[in-house]
Structure 1
Amino acid sequence: MPDGVSAPDFSGILLAFDFGEKRIGVATGNTLLNSAQPLTTISTEKTDERFAAIAKLLAEWQPSALVVGLPCHEDGAPHQMTALCRRFANRLKGRFKLPVILVDERYTSAAASEALTARGIHGIKQKPLLDQVAAQHILQAYFDEPTTGILA
C-alpha cells in the first residue's frame, strides 16, 4: 500500500515505538481491549543493540503489527526527525517482515510528561519512563482512531 494510504485494522497484540536518537520507548497493547501500556525503554544509540532488543521483544510478544510515532511540526510539516522515524519504520518492516503503521505523535511527549506528573513522578525522575509512556500515547492514539495511521 502506498505511503499516505490509511492502514487497515490489525487484531491481536501490537507494539509501538517512540523513536529517538538516544532512546526508543516501547509500549504494548491488545486490540481486544483497545488499551496500551508502557513496556520498556531501549537506552542505547548502537543500532545493532537496538534491533537485538527489538527482536527479543518481538519474539516475546508476537505482535501482529508495529506502530511507530511520526513526529512533525505543529502545522504538520516534516522535519529532520520525521525522516529518521520513517527510516526506522522502514528498517523495522524490512528486518522483521511485519506491517508497520505510522501515527502522528505530535504532543505525545508533553502528554506523557503530564501523565507522569499526575502520578507524582516529576523532573529528572521522568526521564527513564518518558519515552515508553510516549509510546503508550502513540499506541493509544492508534487504538482510538485506527484510520489515522498510515502504512510505512
Structure 2
Amino acid sequence: MAIDYGEKRVGLAITDPLGIISQPFLTIEIKSQKELIKRLKFIIQENTVGLILVGNPLSHNGQATKMSRKIAVFVDELKKAVSVDVQLWDERFTSKYAVNTLKDVGLKKKGSKIDQIAASLMLEEYIKSQSSNRV
C-alpha cells in the first residue's frame, strides 16, 4: 500500500493480490492523526497489506522539506501502531504527474483523486524498482 500524505487528505493506493498492478484506492480526510492511524490499521487488516510506502516530498535537490519532517513524525507513529513494514519513498513530482494524468484522460483537477493517483504512481514506481532487481 502507498500513502500520499497531505495537510488535509491522505491518498491511498493498493496493488492487486499478486503485487503487480497499482491502483488508486481511497482518500481519507484527516481529522486527527490518531483517527487516521485507526482507519489505516483497519484498511491494512482488511486488505492484507504487507508493506506501506509513505511518500516523502523531498525538495528538487533531495533535501528534507517542512512537509517531509511532518511525514517523518507520522511514519514514526504509524510504525508504533502497525506490525507491517513502513518505508519512506521519494515522491518528488508524483502530485504533478497525477495532475497531468487527470488532464490526459480529460478529467478536471479533483483533490481526492489527485491524492489517490499520486499514491498509485508512487506504488507503481516501487513495483517497477523491485521487478528490475529480479534476475
- Give the TM-score normalised by structure 2: 0.89
Could you tell me how far apart the structure 1 residues matched to 2:61 and 2:49 are? 32
Could you tell me how far apart the structure 2 residues matched to 1:104 and 1:31 are? 24
Letter paired with 2:59: H
| Aligned pairs (5 A) from 1:42-121 | 42-121=28-107
Per-residue deviation, residues 49-95 of structure 1 (Å, max 9, x unmatched): 21122122112101111111111110101111111112222221110
Structure 2 unmatched ranges of 5 or more? none
1:40 aligns with 2:26: yes
Which stretch has the larger CA shift, 45-54 or 132-141?
A: 45-54
Cα distance change, pair 77–31 in 1 and its aligned pair in 2 (3 A): farther
Supply the RMSD in Å over aligned alpha carbons. 1.7
Contact 1:73 1:79 in 2 (8 A): yes
Cα distance change, pair 56–95 in 1 and its aligned pair in 2 (3 A): same
Per-residue deviation, residues 105-139 of structure 1 (Å, max 9, x unmatched): 0000011111111121113xx21211011100111
**Which 4+ residue blocks in structure 1 deviate beyond 4 angstroms?**
none
- Give the TM-score normalised by structure 1: 0.80
